[in-house]
Structure 1
Amino acid sequence: MYAGNGKSDSGIASSNAVNDEDAQRGEQATPKSSMYMSDVSFTTSVTGGGRQQKPSFSTREIREQHQRMQQKYREDTKRERRFTDPVDFEGILNIIGGCSWWQIWIYVLIAMQQIPHAMFNLNIVYMLYDPEHWCQVPGFDDPNDTTVYEWGLQDVQNISFVFPNVNGRIGAYTRDSCHYYSRSVERYKELRKMPLMEAVQSAWKDSAEKKKCERFHYKTDVMHETIVTDWNLVCDDYFMKGHAHLFYSFGYLVGCVVGGMASDNFGRKPTVIGFGILSSMFGVFLPYTTYYPMFLFIRFCSAICNEAADLAAYTLCMEITGTRYRAMVGSMLQVPWAMGYALLALIAYLAKSWKTVQVIAAGLHFGAVLLICSLPESPRWLMVKERVNEAEEVIRKACRTPPFPFNMCRINKGSLPSDLELVCHREKRLNKKGKVGMLDLFKTPELRFRTVTVCIVFMATALVYYGLVIALSDQSAPGRVLFTGNFFLNNAVAGAIEIPTLFCCVWLMKFGRKKAQMMTLVCGGISIIVAMVAVISENFMFALSFMMIGKICIQGAFNILYIFTSELYPTIIRNSAVGMTSMVARFGSGVSSYIALLSINSLPITPMIIFAIFSLFAGMLVSVLPETSEKPLPETLDDAVTFLRTEQKACYGWGLSGPHTRSISLHEQPVTAADENSIPIPEKEEDSTENNQGRRRYPAGSQRRMVSPCPQISIPRNESRNDSILQDLADLSIPDRLPEAFGEDQ
């Protein structure tokens, strides 16, 4: 192979010419890469009276070995950051456990905060309750008048000589709740001294003018105190009660922005605690306001703090949860919401005052915030923010032996690897591209289209959900048209049925986030339509049943949508992305109260038809979003973009083709520009006679290889194109860093 002192060397030196000491010294001088050579020997030549050692290698073996090394090295580098691998923090979660005792402890603390959070949101049902009311007529309510009269206002509710009759919402004539016949105080006292029928006959002779009410009486059989009774938001001012929910929704909108920015910049834990304390303070101040605009302002501020704390808490839970358990945890985090919904009905039934309910909710929220002070910071956020030591401390605490009662269960005691620093450095490299903001969600066409779509779906879902909550409560009150049953019981059932709904969502999401989202929205819209058909048929119990089914579906859609959205965006901007889409949803929830109030001056089924249309539209719109089920959370904007990939697929039925978007599988390698421009492998030419026959065709079911493998080029052992082994190694272009697969242990 190589010539030495004018002699031809066969590649294997004679054993008599090799000294043991020299061979040992040669092994120590051999480069590290020689460890991977399958055939290495040394020849010794004497020149000028001195001994000189020169290694002799087989060229074919060198080339084949380094080609294998380079191939594996290329495979490792090709995968780097094209799509989020199940390494990085996902690998650490596999060691901790995707849903271990550490995560469960955090979930319990967050759940304690979610119950009063739901009460803050859904107390609007009891604030906006519109009790039966009528005018205060002069001459009937003088506390200093001790005269005993034959009858009072309660006896003439349905007699039209004190109150006019109007065409009610059910088509029958009822008492006008906003007007009365204006007579002098003396005349009414005179009529009240007469027997009722005699007073009616005498009153018909009067020419009384119809006058608007200045003050009102309210029926207190359901609620003693609401914002309607406190500020007389009835008759011409009935639309003003919708402002209470509108301002709260606008506060939610601002809270999504403020909370998202604060959480991404200052951390999840400080955001939850800081805004949680402020939310409790505003919740206590709210019942003591006597000026309606001030009430709206405090409620606006309370919504900002409430949403900011809730958004950070939800994101924290999603970031510490493994891919396998993310859907289940996301659904289970809504169980406290349903519990708060049902518990709120019990508290309202006992208190019958929105002020008492508000103070109780604020007290529960403050107690939950005190418990959250023991909450750890999100280690994923700490890594992204380059706070490596703090992240390592949190992770190692999560790996310790669980305390009681978690140690009663069997725990996988995996130890954290000593190279955690490498994972942290990898996360730091991901953040070197600079800070990102909400505008980066519209940076690329894929993200822009996805963000707009999610915003529309969020807005429609929020509109339908809160609209059904308000309409269901309003129409369950005594004297309403659509539904039957007890006001408090209907609300308690509406909250309690959300708990089994959440378990159903976990099962549905096994078929994919997108399919589950579409199914719940479409089924919700269809159920509302069926309920309205039952109302027209005057089957009110049947209508209430399907209305509950529709609300179940919309609640499930809301639950899945939060999980779906959190998986569509990367860690560095996930909280801001969820906050922005949730922010846009508040436009829908703010309008929902006004749509629900349309039943007062229009057909009672009008709001329900609007809700059904929005639900069906949102369900169809979800079909353009990618699937995120069973995929690691994206870490960078590039990862989020690779969730969508456009392909050209032929539509054989019509002979057309068009773009089709789909998700990249977890085990699939994304196609790069280099791969697309690569040269195809030519078919092997077996013989001249086969080439003359042209291209062969085989049946579709044939198992024959359509492309022959590239022929192996064999190089004789003693053949070399260069005179120096150093030149051979230079031609091989050995990488600067060998892959870890070829460590010293191999």
Structure 2
Amino acid sequence: MEIEEAYQVVGEFGHYQKRAVAVLILIQVYMAGQSMLIVLVGAAPQYHLDQDVSRFSSHQELSQHVTFTEDVDSIVTEWFLIQQQAYKVSLAGSLFFAGVLVGNIVFGPLSDRIGRKPIFLTALFLEVIFGYVTALAPTYELFAFSRLLVGLMNGGIGLVCFVLTQEYVGKSYWAMTGTLSNMTFAVGIALFGALGYYIRPWRHLATAANSPGVLFFLLCVTLPESPRWLYSQGRTEKAEEVLRYVALRNGNPVGNLTLRRVCKAGRDGEGSGVMRLVTHPVLRWRTVVLMYIWYACSLVYYGLTLGASETSGSRYVNVAMYGLVELPAYPVCMYFINKPWAGRKKSTASFLCLAGISCFCTIFFPEKTGVLLNATSLALLGKLMVSAAFNIVYVYTSELYPTVIRNAGLGVCSMSCRVGGILAPFVPSMRAIHSSMPFTVFCVSGLTAGGLSFLLPETLNAPAAETLDQLHSAPCGRVIHSKVRLYEDDQSKLNRK
């Protein structure tokens, strides 16, 4: 039987799979804390200098003449990262996301080649270690370097963890598990804001935010390898063994479960890796379109986040709101992507276009007014729409790539996503050209990405491709090759005549 038929026998989302997926989803809370750590540990309080800072030639001299007027414990107050040294806080944050970028590129192809579980556990273990280095760092230089390493591991964990939540269950549950992963990340941001409110010393906060990783690592050690990955690699007997184990733990033991034998990925030049995304005609076009969509989602999402966060008040409340504002997007997109009249493609395109239109409409409304409809509310509506699109894109992308190259595809798309996140802070500075320029950029990005989404095939209720050979025959590959096949069928009929 095929792998998808085996899930029908074993159970698409049984008791054991629910527990395994729950652990993987809850890891998103830990990852969110690591991603948002610099926001609170790098908090810059108000301060007073009794002399001109240019006179100070050393860190010790500066510390004797600066007085912080707020009761804040952060890397700023410990290492006096003010004035000419203030850039170091942003640098540490940039190093984290640079690490995430590299982690997406490196760990995706590695997990496709070596396996999901060993790469995932290695990255999780090292992230916990480097997280404690962050909390105990005696100097800024070691702190910044540890953030780079934590980001590197975080990028790998996020990618492989998301894929595992998909591959442990039947395809009909992919949208749900993918959405829950993204929703839990948003909840994790809110919880981190609450944690920072109660734990103020930055070293204690870094330790508390990192410690759940130890528990998650111990829980994940017992998880099995992805049966889909084993099957795609030609390790059919091992895949059958894992499926029987899952069936037993689901309370649905199966005695005779035999999968159809497939050739190991990599034979006859099929291979897995980033190069297949370039050389394979279907994957090449698909990857180019998806990379732009991921880039646009990230640019609009983070750009709007920076714009919406320009409010006064408690920094802890603001951090929590960054997460909570996303939550309504997830049930909305879950509803639409499972409807035949909407599906993945139309939902992605619609939410991106609505995000672009919302940004465009902000040009015609004042930023602050007493009425409900204003630039701020429209910007938040745009963020809601792009959050929904971002969530769908994760699920949609995993369905568009075969198992043998799924992590590599997600890794390349995530790389493009990080580029959008890096560029997003520079967009608000375009106000110097014209006040409407930032929202014009967001509008154009959302509309163009939404339009390109229509070039991708629909994957709703379509069987997932396991190998590159199946990609040509899978429904999600028919859009690109339909004309070629029709021509070949006509030629075959003519030859028979």
Asked if these proteins are the same fold (TM beyond 0.5), I'd say yes
CA deviation map 1:457-516 (0-9, x unaligned): 21222233233344434x1235xxxxxxx5433432331243332111111212111111
1:516 to 347, 361, 382: 347
1:418 aligns with 2:256: yes
**Is the alpha carbon distance of 1:401 and 1:538 closer, same or farther for their aligned partners in structure 2, counting shifts above 3 Å?**
closer
Match of 1:467, as an amino acid? G
Residues 93, 322 of structure 1: 8 Å contact kept: yes
2:296 is matched with: 460
Residues 626, 663 of structure 1: 8 Å contact kept: no
CA deviation map 1:234-284 (0-9, x unaligned): 555555543233222221121112211331232211222111011011111
1:501 to 324, 329, 335: 329
2:312 to 474, 477, 487: 477
Q: 1:424 Cα deviation (Å)? A: 4.5
2:33 is matched with: 119
Q: 1:638 Cα deviation (Å)? A: 3.5
Match of 1:428, as an amino acid? C
CA deviation map 1:184-212 (0-9, x unaligned): xxxxxxxxxxxxxxxxxxxxxxxxxxxx9
1:439 is matched with: 275
In the alignment, the residues of structure 1 paired with residue 308 and residue 274 of structure 2 have an alpha-carbon distance, to the nearest angstrom, of 36
Percent of paired sites with the same residue: 29
CA deviation map 1:124-173 (0-9, x unaligned): 4334545444x4114xxxxxxxxxxxxxxxxxxxxxxxxxxxxxxxxxxx
Residues 136, 213 of structure 1: 8 Å contact kept: no
2:24 is matched with: 110
In the alignment, the residues of structure 2 paired with residue 608 and residue 357 of structure 1 have an alpha-carbon distance, to the nearest angstrom, of 36
Q: Secondary structure at the match of 1:677?
A: helix
Q: Secondary structure at the match of 1:678?
A: helix
1:334 aligns with 2:182: yes
2:394 to 553, 562, 565: 562
Match of 1:113, as an amino acid? I
Match of 1:572, as an amino acid? V
Match of 2:125, as an amino acid? I
The equivalences for 1:707-722 within 5 A come to: none
Residues 518, 619 of structure 1: 8 Å contact kept: yes
In the alignment, the residues of structure 2 paired with residue 120 and residue 287 of structure 1 have an alpha-carbon distance, to the nearest angstrom, of 11
Residues 24, 161 of structure 2: 8 Å contact kept: yes
1:220 is matched with: 70
1:551 aligns with 2:383: yes
Residues 287, 359 of structure 1: 8 Å contact kept: yes
In the alignment, the residues of structure 1 paired with residue 444 and residue 481 of structure 2 have an alpha-carbon distance, to the nearest angstrom, of 27
In the alignment, the residues of structure 2 paired with residue 522 and residue 662 of structure 1 have an alpha-carbon distance, to the nearest angstrom, of 27
2:454 to 623, 633, 656: 623
Q: 1:428 Cα deviation (Å)? A: 3.0
2:167 to 319, 326, 329: 319
In the alignment, the residues of structure 1 paired with residue 174 and residue 451 of structure 2 have an alpha-carbon distance, to the nearest angstrom, of 25
In the alignment, the residues of structure 2 paired with residue 301 and residue 583 of structure 1 have an alpha-carbon distance, to the nearest angstrom, of 17
Q: Secondary structure at the match of 1:333?
A: helix
In the alignment, the residues of structure 2 paired with residue 216 and residue 619 of structure 1 have an alpha-carbon distance, to the nearest angstrom, of 51
CA deviation map 1:363-413 (0-9, x unaligned): 01221111111211111112223333322221112222636xxxxxxxxx5
1:383 aligns with 2:216: no
1:491 aligns with 2:319: yes
In the alignment, the residues of structure 1 paired with residue 365 and residue 485 of structure 2 have an alpha-carbon distance, to the nearest angstrom, of 52
Q: Secondary structure at the match of 2:454?
A: helix
Q: Secondary structure at the match of 1:399?
A: helix
2:13 is matched with: 99
In the alignment, the residues of structure 2 paired with residue 97 and residue 468 of structure 1 have an alpha-carbon distance, to the nearest angstrom, of 41
Match of 1:584, as an amino acid? S
The equivalences for 1:336-415 within 5 A come to: 336-400=184-248, 402=250, 413=252
Q: Secondary structure at the match of 1:386?
A: coil
Q: 1:606 Cα deviation (Å)? A: 6.1
Greater displacement, 107-116 / 518-527: 518-527
Match of 2:231, as an amino acid? M
Residues 233, 263 of structure 2: 8 Å contact kept: yes
**Is the alpha carbon distance of 1:456 and 1:131 closer, same or farther for their aligned partners in structure 2, counting shifts above 3 Å?**
farther
Q: Secondary structure at the match of 2:211?
A: helix
Match of 1:117, as an amino acid? M
2:49 is matched with: 136
1:525 aligns with 2:356: yes
Residues 280, 363 of structure 1: 8 Å contact kept: yes
Residues 302, 421 of structure 2: 8 Å contact kept: yes
**Is the alpha carbon distance of 1:245 and 1:614 closer, same or farther for their aligned partners in structure 2, counting shifts above 3 Å?**
farther
Match of 1:118, as an amino acid? A
Q: Secondary structure at the match of 2:461?
A: coil
RMSD of aligned alpha carbons? 3.5
In the alignment, the residues of structure 2 paired with residue 424 and residue 680 of structure 1 have an alpha-carbon distance, to the nearest angstrom, of 33
1:302 to 135, 150, 165: 150
Computing the radius of gyration from Cα coordinates, the structure with the larger value is: 1
- In structure 1, stretches of 5+ residues that fail to align are 1-86, 139-178, 183-211, 404-412, 479-485, 647-660, 683-746
Q: Which has the higher strand share?
A: 1
In the alignment, the residues of structure 2 paired with residue 442 and residue 631 of structure 1 have an alpha-carbon distance, to the nearest angstrom, of 24
Match of 1:562, as an amino acid? Y
1:572 is matched with: 404
Match of 1:491, as an amino acid? V
CA deviation map 1:45-97 (0-9, x unaligned): xxxxxxxxxxxxxxxxxxxxxxxxxxxxxxxxxxxxxxxxxx51011111122
Residues 447, 641 of structure 1: 8 Å contact kept: no
The equivalences for 1:94-243 within 5 A come to: 94-127=8-41, 129-133=43-47, 135-138=48-51, 216-220=66-70, 224-233=72-81, 239-243=87-91
2:3 is matched with: 89
**Is the alpha carbon distance of 1:554 and 1:244 closer, same or farther for their aligned partners in structure 2, counting shifts above 3 Å?**
farther
**Is the alpha carbon distance of 1:99 and 1:672 closer, same or farther for their aligned partners in structure 2, counting shifts above 3 Å?**
farther
1:677 to 479, 482, 492: 492
Residues 193, 319 of structure 2: 8 Å contact kept: yes
2:132 is matched with: 284
Residues 125, 470 of structure 1: 8 Å contact kept: no
2:95 is matched with: 247
2:59 is matched with: none
TM-score, length basis structure 1: 0.59
Match of 1:635, as an amino acid? E
Match of 1:443, as an amino acid? T
Q: 1:358 Cα deviation (Å)? A: 2.2
2:58 is matched with: none
**Is the alpha carbon distance of 1:181 and 1:377 closer, same or farther for their aligned partners in structure 2, counting shifts above 3 Å?**
closer
1:632 aligns with 2:463: yes
Q: 1:550 Cα deviation (Å)? A: 2.4
Residues 93, 320 of structure 1: 8 Å contact kept: no
In the alignment, the residues of structure 2 paired with residue 672 and residue 319 of structure 1 have an alpha-carbon distance, to the nearest angstrom, of 36
**Is the alpha carbon distance of 1:214 and 1:547 closer, same or farther for their aligned partners in structure 2, counting shifts above 3 Å?**
farther
Q: 1:590 Cα deviation (Å)? A: 2.3
In the alignment, the residues of structure 1 paired with residue 496 and residue 111 of structure 2 have an alpha-carbon distance, to the nearest angstrom, of 52
Residues 401, 409 of structure 2: 8 Å contact kept: yes
Q: 1:586 Cα deviation (Å)? A: 1.4
**Is the alpha carbon distance of 1:532 and 1:91 closer, same or farther for their aligned partners in structure 2, counting shifts above 3 Å?**
same
In the alignment, the residues of structure 1 paired with residue 38 and residue 343 of structure 2 have an alpha-carbon distance, to the nearest angstrom, of 34
1:592 aligns with 2:424: yes
